[in-house]
A = this chain, B = another copy of it.
Amino acid sequence: MEHTDTSEHFLYLRIAERLQTQIEKQVLKTGDKLPSVRTLSKEQGVSLTTAFQAYSELEIKGLIEARPKSGYYVRFTPSQFPRLMAKHQHEKPKKVSVESVATLVYQKMRQQGVTKFSLAVPSIDLLPEAKLNKSMIEAIRKHPTSCLEYEDTQGNATLRQQLARHTYSWGGQYTADDIVTTQGCMEALVFCLKAVTQPGDTVAIETPTYFGIFNVLQSLGLKAIEVPVDPATGLDLEYLQKALRTVHIKACLFVTSFNNPTGCDMPPERKKQLVQMLAEKEIPLIEDDIYGEMYFGKARPVPCKAFDTKGLILLCSSMSKSLAPGYRVGWCMPGPFLDKVLHLKLMSTVSSATPTQAAIAHFLETGRYDLHMRNLRKALHTQCLLYTQAIARYFPNDTKVSRPAGGFVLWIEMNEAVDAMELFHEAIEHGVSIAPGHLFSADGRFSHHIRIGFGTTFNDSIDKSLKTLGQLIKKRIQKSPSA
């Protein structure tokens, strides 16, 4: 019943998706004329309304445009960008720090009126403000002690139950007992790292990767070895295999779905291969799954945790990217390390706040979360395409842009003449904040890269800021000695 309903209702979406695939595969190229609404309707055996809706959908995503009295035309083909490649660089484990850059970038960003491309969060208009407020009010009202008492160290029971249920979406069979709630994903990462390492140990991480991960490693006295990520296929498993032979790696910490900044979704068979490779050496993997729910495709990517047979995968996630950054509600599923994690939590922060956990539990329980996520995913996918198109319009032709399969960010490689840090300083003067590539590796290998967050709804001001950025990049290339 539900299936039929969905099919009828989303028929136009299925047609739009097929057309989108053709555009992405360059079967349809920029400038190509599309069949008229009437022709499409006949060809596909659907109503005129459905055919029109399909084109509207593609128009919203900026993939096609309606030209008055002429019809629909393909506007944009993402693969016009040269392919982004992984940056290899052989190295030894090292202490890592990108602190000073991070502090600088995030201080400057606070200035009034700055366009914050440096952020990787959804803007407030994409979040279900009123409905989450309702959940908070209902949660504190129906709670036996209005959320005033200390919460269980393991976390709010209803929330853990809801989160456990939610793992069904990727085939997980977990219960509330398998989950420990935390203060955001960061605290989950800290507990899991502490559970499987000692200060001085080496942890394998991705490169490029989220600079918060460098901070956490640094604060725990851990060394890092950076494993390259290919924007298309994910983690370089051959590189990792070699590193495992030569370096004593105590644990891995990878963002396996929609790595930040590449947005790459590692194919399931490669995830499986990774799990097997680590299982052979009994090396725990801390899997940061914070972006897993923000997929643009049809189904949620399956995390490595799903392939875990030896209890070596400690999955960490949070609601900070999908629902409520300010609520600081995260969790982990540490498998056999659960008692250790619980103990670490008891020893450091005792328990997490009750009202925020109870509110999110209520939001999940009532089905509000599923509805919200459907809207958010759609909005993010559209924004991703609109930002990409603006970049294609304004940035030099040799720019390479990632094609994320989910998440919040675009990873951009510029001409070698452009230093991202210098561009950052100049852009801030023009009211535009970007995240320079220097933030995403401890050895500066991404000095010509920038990360652009597309969490803010695309509008004229965003368009203008991207135009400004493109002009600044072009000017820098023209000025360079080799030009």
Hey, which bits of chain A sit against chain B, CB under 8 A?
121, 124, 127, 129-130, 132-133, 136-137, 140-141, 145-151, 183-184, 186-187, 190, 199, 212, 215-216, 218-219, 320, 324-329, 344, 346-356, 359
| Shortest 3 CB-CB contacts between residues of A and residues of B | A326-B354, A328-B353, A219-B347
14 A–B contact pairs at CB < 8 A?
A121-B150, A124-B145, A124-B149, A132-B148, A149-B325, A150-B326, A184-B350, A186-B350, A190-B348, A212-B350, A215-B347, A219-B344, A326-B354, A353-B356
| B150, A325: Cβ atoms closer than 8 Å | yes
A347 touches B129 (CB 8 A): no
How many copies of this chain sit in the oligomeric assembly?
2
- A215–B327 Cα distance when bound, in Å, is 27
Contacts of A124 in B (CB 8 A): 145, 148-149
Most B CB contacts (10 A, CB to CB) among A121, A149, A359 go to A149
Complex Cα distance, B353 from A328, in Å, reads 5
Contact A353 B350 (CB under 8 A): no
Residues of B contacting A325 in the complex (Cβ-Cβ under 8 angstroms): 148-150
A344 neighbours in B (Cβ, 8 Å): 219
A132 touches B146 (CB 8 A): yes
Given contacts A149-B326, A355-B359, 15 further A-B contacts (CB under 8 A): A127-B148, A132-B146, A137-B137, A145-B326, A148-B324, A148-B325, A186-B349, A187-B348, A218-B347, A219-B347, A219-B348, A327-B354, A329-B353, A355-B356, A356-B356
Give A110's nearest chain B residue, CB to CB.
B152
Q: How far is the CA of A324 from the CA of B320 in the complex (A)?
A: 24
Residues of B within 8 A of A329 (CB): 353
A214 vs chain B, min Cβ distance (A): 9
- A133 near B141 (CB under 8 angstroms)? yes
Is B145 a contact partner of A353 (Cβ separation < 8 A)?
no
Q: Which partner residue on chain B sits nearest A320 by CB separation?
A: B150
For A351, the chain B residues whose CB sits under 8 A away are 326, 328
- Distance in Å: Cβ of A321 to nearest Cβ of chain B: 11
- List B contacts of A183 (CB < 8 A): 183, 349, 352-353
Do the beta carbons of A348 and B133 come within 8 Å of each other? no
List residues of chain B with CB within 8 A of the CB of A121.
Answer: 149-150
